[in-house]
A and B are shown apart, each in its own frame.
Chain A
Amino acid sequence: MKGSVIKYERDNIDTDVILPGPYLKIHDYAELAKHAMEGLDKDFHKRVKPGDFIVAGKNFGCGSSREHAPIALSYSGVKAVLALSFARIFYRNAVDGAFLLPIEIDESAYHDISDIDSLEIDISKNEIKNLTKNKVYKMKPFPELIGKIIQAGGLFNYKP
């Protein structure tokens, strides 16, 4: 999985900025994508390309349970969010709905990765290659069940 980075160097990027409240009434996924990150970055929808990765600090996706948040990012083209940590509902929505990969990275990778760097992520090796900087970082392995759900392609495809 290869893509380039959109980096937000901040913690607690909450669901109110990922997909603001007034759009909660919308359930058309392509329409939601137009409003992704609107509360933080008005230009996100112009900037994002299919296959991009978001890099952010701790507690990404805190706040509401709205699945609109990972949906809006996913339908914008975002394949993974790399963050120091994730809020629990955002994390399970991303995985169970197979919208994007929530990947936990450590402080050194977080500080090292820059905006527009090209990355290659290999979840079978728990490895992130920074193709721009020619470096390799470790990602935190997915817990067993999460790994299985990701492999199955979401909770509905997973057979316990």
Chain B
Amino acid sequence: MLNITEKILARASGKSKVSPGDVIFVNVDKVMIHDVSGPGVIAVFEKLKKIGMKIDKLWDPDRVWVAEDHFVPAADKISAQNIVSLTNFTKQFGIKKHFKYGMGQYGICHTLSHEEAMVLPGEVYVGGDSHTNTTGALGAFAAGLGHTDIAYVLLNGKIWFKVPETLYFKLNGKLPDHVMAKDLILKIIGDIGNDGAAYKTMQFGGTGISEMSVESRLTLTNMTTEAGAKSGIVEPDQKLRDYLTAKGATKYDEVHSDADAQYEKIYEYEGSEIEPTVAKPFSPENIAIARDLSSIELDKAYIGSCTGAKLEDLQAAAKILKGRTVKIRTEVLPAAISIFKKAMEEGLLKIFLDAGVVVGPPTCGACCGAHMGVLAKDEICISTTNRNFPGRMGHVESQTYLASPLVVAASAITGKITDPRDLK
């Protein structure tokens, strides 16, 4: 009678059964740090050494992987120094899987987690980033942690969790062609609120999810963070197996919910009823139907981030931008260089460039207001990213509307918030 999350956590804590509310120490399979949380962990290690703790090795360097994504290409001297510190750290502790920016495969950590199959079904995965939830679409328990907790995992291989209650979101039937997973997750967050899943797991299932690509599922789990969730998850199926096989990952131990699994609450959505949806400033829960915002004039469109710059997202944007010209400044930043390459091979980059768009390198960049395309005072942006809190993408008095790649691309053409169906 356990659901997939409870079964993964029970297995990882050596118990036959766990129940929501139990506080347990869980053995971790994989852990990720990047150019913000990595130096954060290094600072924790320094603090611990000062009080006499000896730190000369990690619990298991082969279970640790590293990305450089937030302030790359190095935004300034401090960012450059952080990359040097991170490199020294991986050398010192013998971490081999370090995706160096500009060396082979590189990009946003959450995107690499699935592009490179760094995490597998049934695993417990923690990362030093709140959107670690993303990787739950691969049938793993995936949760974000802070620097102290990640430092603890790096040294001990385990961490405490309160076993979460699970909210089950059932999607009946396919989403229409003009609607994307982004619209569905914005609708869900609008319904349950910024803290509607606080401390809980959001599990997605139903015929609409079975029909949905793995990349679309990743958009859903990515934004579970915006409802306060500890994790988001989708049970493994043949689509996932095929996705992982294509990436060379065939050996893993899948976990599935029992037939009589318990959920705290089940929400049902009809695929055919989901509309192109937008989150208005200054919160992801502040949603509206795109068509109701058609008078909002924009300064900029942004297609980037772990949420909205996977290959499928770029394909959707290209479908709209093909043969058209943008009316506002528009930036496309593929989420990993592997995606950039595929976009090049498929001719998507040419479509973007012909439309007048800037194509940039993979980076978290402006999504978190770090650098590269941040917003000025009073500027209004429509974005495929995940958050729109005050100052998230730049000036505290700038505004960000969150939307699907289809809506963002359509809005780039008209300069106003636009439902893709209304594009002439």
Residue numbers of A with Cβ under 8 A of B are 11-12, 14, 16-17, 20-22, 24-27, 29, 39-40, 58-59, 62-68, 70, 85, 87-89, 92-93, 96-97, 143-145, 154-156, 160
Q: Tell me if B198 and A85 are in contact (CB < 8 A).
A: yes
CB distance from B128 to the nearest CB of A (A): 6
CB distance from B189 to the nearest CB of A (A): 12
Chain B residues numbered 13-57 whose CB sits less than 8 Å from any CB in chain A: 23, 25, 36-37, 39-40, 42-44, 48, 53
Q: Tell me if A26 and B147 are in contact (CB < 8 A).
A: no
Q: List 15 A-B contacts (CB under 8 A).
A: A12-B195, A17-B391, A17-B396, A20-B391, A22-B374, A25-B36, A58-B195, A59-B194, A65-B37, A66-B40, A66-B146, A67-B146, A67-B147, A87-B198, A96-B146
Q: Given A16-B387, A24-B368, A27-B43, do A92 and B71 touch, yes or no (CB 8 Å)?
A: no
Q: Tell me if B146 and A65 are in contact (CB < 8 A).
A: yes
Q: Tell me if B148 and A96 are in contact (CB < 8 A).
A: yes
Which 10 residue pairs are nearest across A and B when measured between Cβ atoms?
A93-B146, A21-B369, A67-B146, A97-B148, A65-B130, A59-B195, A67-B147, A21-B368, A16-B389, A65-B144
Q: Across the interface, which residues of B come within 8 angstroms of A96, CB to CB?
A: 146, 148-149, 152
Q: Tell me if A92 and B152 are in contact (CB < 8 A).
A: no
Query: Which of B75-83, B257-265, B350-358 contacts the other chain?
Result: B75-83
Q: CB within 8 A of B152: which of A21, A144, A155?
A: A155
Alpha-carbon distance between A29 and B195 when the two chains are bound, in angstroms:
29
Q: CB within 8 A of A66: which of B36, B79, B162?
A: B36
Chain B residues numbered 150-192 whose CB sits less than 8 Å from any CB in chain A: 151-152, 160, 162
CB distance from A91 to the nearest CB of B (A): 9
CB distance from B55 to the nearest CB of A (A): 11
Residue numbers of B with Cβ under 8 A of A are 23, 25, 36-37, 39-40, 42-44, 48, 53, 70-71, 75-76, 78-79, 82, 128-130, 132, 144-149, 151-152, 160, 162, 194-195, 198-199, 228, 230, 283, 368-371, 374, 387, 389-392, 396
CB distance from A121 to the nearest CB of B (A): 23
Q: Across the interface, which residues of A come within 8 angstroms of B39, CB to CB?
A: 25, 27
Q: Tell me if B370 and A64 are in contact (CB < 8 A).
A: no
Alpha-carbon distance between A4 and B148 when the two chains are bound, in angstroms:
28
CB distance from A12 to the nearest CB of B (A): 5
Q: Tell me if A65 and B370 are in contact (CB < 8 A).
A: no
Alpha-carbon distance between A21 and B130 when the two chains are bound, in angstroms:
13
Q: Across the interface, which residues of B come within 8 angstroms of A16, CB to CB?
A: 368-369, 387, 389-392
Q: Tell me if B148 and A26 are in contact (CB < 8 A).
A: no
Alpha-carbon distance between A29 and B43 when the two chains are bound, in angstroms:
9
Q: Tell me if B368 and A97 are in contact (CB < 8 A).
A: no
Q: Tell me if B40 and A68 are in contact (CB < 8 A).
A: yes
Q: Tell me if B146 and A89 are in contact (CB < 8 A).
A: yes
Q: Tell me if A88 and B148 are in contact (CB < 8 A).
A: no
Alpha-carbon distance between A89 and B148 when the two chains are bound, in angstroms:
11
CB distance from A150 to the nearest CB of B (A): 13
CB distance from A147 to the nearest CB of B (A): 11
Alpha-carbon distance between A58 and B228 when the two chains are bound, in angstroms:
12
Q: Given A21-B392, A145-B160, do A65 and B23 touch, yes or no (CB 8 Å)?
A: no
Q: Across the interface, which residues of B come within 8 angstroms of A59, CB to CB?
A: 194-195, 198, 228
CB distance from B366 to the nearest CB of A (A): 9
Q: Across the interface, which residues of A come within 8 angstroms of B396, CB to CB?
A: 17, 20, 39
CB distance from B190 to the nearest CB of A (A): 14
